[in-house]
């Protein structure tokens, strides 16, 4: 798959040059082109829908396309890059968050029952769920936000400062690699009451 190919390329930079990896490289390049084509199709379709005045879900694609309509300096390639970046980063983190949420629901059957009741009340027997109904799932939203706090799928966020700064009394010189821990911040007692409880 595209993900596996990119991971292999990152782990083994020689893959880009050694002949024994040629077929794998071609596969990764073809997959990348197909994804970009799909990304362009999504952006173009949403742009046309918005121009024609059709109702569109207020999702990431709509937000980015609207921003590009208002600011012509945002080009389509940037929008496609953002969408594909989130697509790649999002599928793994989504799976991680869902797994953590399911683990907590199995540990706490009362929460699972409350979630089931909310889904039944809001969605009923609908087989198609419009976005506005998903927004009405208040407890489900709280459940997933708490899951993200308790079990962040990305434990830290790498940053690089371009100028000197001070954080909590510590002088940070320019051109320093910083990696604040999301996990630690989400478990600090000064911000969260009983931070280790779900």
Residue-wise pLDDT tens digits, 61-112: 888 888 888 888 888 888 888 888 887 777 778 888 999 999 999 999 999 9
How far is Cα 76 from Cα 175, in angstroms, rounded to an integer? 31
Q: Judge whether residue 172 has pLDDT over 90.
A: yes
Q: Of 116-130, 139-153, 179-193, give the lowest mean pLDDT range.
A: 116-130
Query: pTM of the predicted model, to two decimals?
Result: 0.60
Is the pLDDT confidence value at 10 over 90?
A: no
């Amino acid at each position: 798959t595209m993900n596996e190919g990119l991971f292999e390329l990152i782990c083994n930079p020689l893959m880009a040059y050694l002949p024994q990896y040629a077929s794998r490289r071609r596969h990764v390049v073809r997959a990348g082109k197909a994804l970009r084509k799909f990304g362009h199709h999504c952006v173009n379709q949403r742009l046309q829908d918005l121009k024609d005045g059709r109702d569109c879900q207020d999702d990431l694609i709509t937000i980015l396309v609207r921003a590009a309509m208002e600011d012509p300096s945002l080009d389509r390639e940037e929008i496609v890059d953002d969408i594909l970046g989130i697509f790649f980063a999002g599928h793994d983190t989504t799976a991680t968050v869902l797994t953590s949420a399911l683990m907590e629901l199995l540990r706490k059957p009362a929460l699972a029952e409350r979630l089931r009741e909310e889904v039944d009340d809001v969605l009923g027997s609908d087989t198609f769920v419009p976005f506005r109904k998903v927004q009405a799932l208040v407890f489900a939203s709280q459940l997933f936000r708490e899951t993200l706090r308790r079990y962040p799928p990305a434990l830290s966020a790498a940053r690089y400062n371009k100028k000197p700064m001070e954080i909590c009394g510590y002088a940070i010189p320019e051109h320093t690699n910083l990696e604040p821990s999301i996990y630690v911040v989400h478990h600090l007692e000064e911000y969260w009451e009983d931070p280790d409880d779900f």
